[in-house]
């Protein structure tokens, strides 16, 4: 296996809400290899965005990193001074967000915004940055780059704005791209266009991608490996193949069962009962136990560790082997 580009170890993040605290990330460890596309899947509040955004120093002010390391090429991002982190962010690590309209500067020409990232990081001089911006716009499938350079974000459609965001993120040729729900706000045909573009860029540049998504269809079709987060913990981590063929965590199975796909008119629905915990206390037992059909006394009293049940297949469930063997 290739060397880890980013290695997150035992990350713990807490938010202070005044009257109480939210334990958003509770000991998350994983790594992203060079050239790998990793899918980070979970529902709202699972910690999927917070995990990576904390590593990048991009969490809200009331968020505190309580423990852990996040080593990018061996250097701990969590110990860096803001200036050092700013150097890496946007140059070595590109980020794209769900809503390009709120991430782009509404009063700045899009061409200048793409150039800005190259100039800030001294990736290129003015002339070169301008040429590269036109090249990027072309690569992103934006017609008439020269004319469009001078347009403002509101003059583009949602899909085109997301292409501009990607151009900014890729401008300095990052080794890692963090894509936080990049297609969630887009229509399906546009989602397909954006994912095709990301896949092409990834192949061309040998870039790693961390794809944060709630959509199993996106994750399984795009990523090499998948992490399922719930209540700020990794429930399951597996190659996409294992994930598809042998999910071993009851939450993963429940989620997969919750997805209605084309051609399922006659199927019975079997929703996961209840809802996600509020996270106002650190987990002391399995966070999924109250919704789990297989939960036992042990699940309600003892926190399951993330363990490797077969090569590269990690599950945080006391009964993973039984679940896998359909013994229960």
Partner 1 sequence: MPSSPLLQVEEVSKRFRVQGRELHAVEKVSFQLDAGKTMGLVGESGSGKSTLGRLVLRLLDANEGRIVFNGQDITKLSPKQMRPLRRDMQIIFQDPQASMSPRMTIGAAIEDAMAIHNIGTKAERQKRVDELLERVGLSTVVKYAFPHELSGGQLQRVGIARALSLNPKLVICDEPISALDVSIQVQVIQLLQELQKDFNLTYIFISHNLAVVEYLSDQVAVLYLGEVVEQGPAEELFANPTHPYTQVLLQSILKMPEDADKRQALTSIQGEIPSPFNPPSGCTFHPRCPFATDVCRQKKPERKLVGSQHSVTCHLAN
Chain residues that interact with partner 1, rule: CB under 8 A: 43-44, 157-160, 187-193, 195-196, 199, 214-218, 220-222, 239-241, 244-245, 254-256, 258-265, 267, 269-273, 275-276
Q: Cβ of residue 258: shortest distance to partner 1, in angstroms?
A: 5
Percent helix, strand, coil in the chain, to 5, is 35, 25, 40
Of the candidates 186, 183, 235, 192, the residue with the CA atom closest to the CA atom of residue 211: 183
Q: How far apart are CA 250 and CA 228, in angstroms?
A: 11
Q: Cβ of residue 31: shortest distance to partner 1, in angstroms?
A: 20
For residue 286 the two structure tokens come to 């399995």
Decide the pairing of beta strands 225-230 and 37-41.
parallel
Q: Closer to partner 1 at the Cβ: 56 or 223?
A: 223
Q: Taking a C-beta distance cutoff of 8 angstroms, is the pair 205, 170 a contact?
A: yes
Q: How far apart are CA 103 and CA 106, in angstroms?
A: 9
Q: Cβ of residue 142: shortest distance to partner 1, in angstroms?
A: 11
Q: How far apart are CA 220 and CA 64, in angstroms?
A: 32
Q: How far apart are CA 102 and CA 94, in angstroms?
A: 17
Q: Cβ of residue 155: shortest distance to partner 1, in angstroms?
A: 12
- Reported for 280-283, long-range contacts at CB under 8 A and 24+ positions apart, including other chains, are 280/20, 280/21, 280/22, 280/23, 281/23, 282/23, 282/26, 283/23, 283/26, 283/231, 283/232, 283/233
Q: Closer to partner 1 at the Cβ: 273 or 293?
A: 273
Q: Cβ of residue 257: shortest distance to partner 1, in angstroms?
A: 8
Residues listed for the chain? 328
Q: Closer to partner 1 at the Cβ: 121 or 163?
A: 163
Q: Closer to partner 1 at the Cβ: 189 or 206?
A: 189
Q: How far apart are CA 146 and CA 166, in angstroms?
A: 18
Q: How far apart are CA 274 and CA 246, in angstroms?
A: 25
Q: Cβ of residue 290: shortest distance to partner 1, in angstroms?
A: 13
Q: Closer to partner 1 at the Cβ: 259 or 328?
A: 259
For residue 244 the two structure tokens come to 């598809």
Q: Closer to partner 1 at the Cβ: 42 or 57?
A: 42
Instruction: For residue 147, give every residue at least 6 positions away whose Cβ sits within 8 Å of its Cβ, in sequence order, or none.
Output: none
Q: Closer to partner 1 at the Cβ: 81 or 206?
A: 206
Q: Cβ of residue 37: shortest distance to partner 1, in angstroms?
A: 12
Q: Closer to partner 1 at the Cβ: 190 or 309?
A: 190
Q: Cβ of residue 260: shortest distance to partner 1, in angstroms?
A: 5
């Amino acid at each position: 296996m290739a060397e880890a580009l980013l290695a997150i170890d035992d990350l713990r993040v807490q938010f202070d809400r005044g009257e109480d605290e939210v334990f958003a990330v509770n000991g998350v460890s994983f790594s992203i290899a060079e050239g790998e596309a990793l899918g980070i899947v979970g529902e709202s509040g699972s910690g999927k965005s917070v995990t990576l955004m904390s590593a990048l120093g991009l969490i809200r002010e009331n968020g505190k990193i309580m423990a852990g390391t996040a080593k990018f090429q061996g250097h701990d991002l969590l110990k860096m001074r803001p200036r050092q982190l700013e150097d890496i962010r946007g140059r070595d690590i590109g980020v794209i967000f769900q809503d390009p309209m709120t991430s782009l500067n509404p009063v700045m020409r899009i061409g200048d915004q793409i150039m800005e990232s190259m100039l800030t990081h001294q990736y290129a001089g003015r002339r070169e940055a301008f040429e590269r911006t036109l090249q990027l716009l072309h690569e992103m499938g934006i017609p008439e780059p020269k004319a469009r350079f001078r347009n403002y974000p509101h003059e583009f459609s949602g899909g085109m704005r997301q292409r501009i965001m990607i151009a900014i993120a890729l401008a300095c040729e990052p080794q890692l791209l963090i894509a936080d729900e990049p297609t969630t706000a887009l229509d399906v045909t546009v989602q397909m266009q954006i994912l095709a573009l990301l896949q092409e860029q990834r192949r061309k540049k040998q870039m790693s991608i961390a794809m944060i998504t709630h959509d199993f269809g996106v994750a399984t079709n795009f990523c090499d490996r998948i992490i399922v987060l719930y209540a700020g913990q990794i429930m399951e981590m597996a190659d996409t193949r294992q994930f598809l063929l042998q999910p071993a965590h009851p939450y993963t199975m429940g989620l997969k069962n919750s997805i209605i796909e084309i051609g399922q008119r006659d199927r019975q629905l079997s929703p996961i009962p209840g809802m996600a915990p509020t996270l106002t206390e650190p987990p002391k037992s399995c966070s999924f136990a109250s919704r789990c059909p297989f939960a036992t006394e042990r699940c309600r009293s003892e926190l399951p560790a993330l363990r490797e049940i077969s090569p590269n297949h990690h599950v945080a469930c006391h009964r993973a082997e039984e679940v896998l063997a359909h013994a229960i």
